Amino acid sequence: EIYLPAFEAAVREANAWSIMACYNKVNGFHGCENKDLLRKRLMKEWGFHGFVVSDWFATKNPTNTEGCLGAGLTLEMPIPIKYRRRRIKRAIKEGFVSEETFNDNVKRLLRVMFLVGMFDDGSKLPQGCRNTPEHQALAREIAEEGIVLLKNKHHLLPLDITTLKTIAVLGPDANKKHSFGGGSSCVRALYEITPLQGLKDKCRG
């Protein structure tokens, strides 16, 4: 398996509270109504107790209310399409989905809402912090461990900075910050080192 191990580790080792269901089909079923992927593997085999949220408008494809409820989709985003009140009531009334299954979906969402303090007095909740030195160190560690070297012709890397005289850094983005994609991938980092600055730091100027 290529894709599942990362999600399994997030659930089993990091105790993830939520998982997002995909747009595409897996073994013939869309992610939001994939009972084998969500209810069987994620919840039963991996012991996931959090909630499953749809990717944005992922339920617009040919899914149905009972399929999504039965699979374990908890939260439909950004607006209810399949999870409108009448559709849910009809699915339960006509026996397509049991009340037990529906209640399990509701409990999963409420559980996380309680865990994050949504029903608590906001003035008594601890204040968070961001962009601390610890956060910066962790971000750097994650970036370093996520690097994949695809080719190393003539064993050029790693560079021996004791023998180097000059390094050519080419391209318009070599010293540009805030490199990001569009839509939901847009991230304006509070702490970022450009490739040029990283090389200067490593080579001591």
Catalytic residue numbers, as ranges = 55
Query: Pairing state of beta strands 51-54 and 18-21?
Result: parallel
Name the DSSP class of 91: H
With contact defined as beta carbons under 8 Å apart, do 71 and 101 qualify? no
63 close to 33: Cβ distance less than 8 angstroms: yes
Per-residue buried b or exposed e for 160-199, using 16+ beta carbons within 10 Å of the residue's own CB: eeeeeeeeeeeeeeeeeeeeeeeeeeeeeeeebbbeeeeb
CB atoms within 10 A of CB 70: 20
Which phi and psi angles does 57 have, rounded to 5°? 60, 25
Element (H, E) at 11: helix 4-12
Q: How far is CA 185 from the centre of its chain?
A: 11
**Which of 130, 72, 138 minimizes the C-alpha distance to 106?**
72
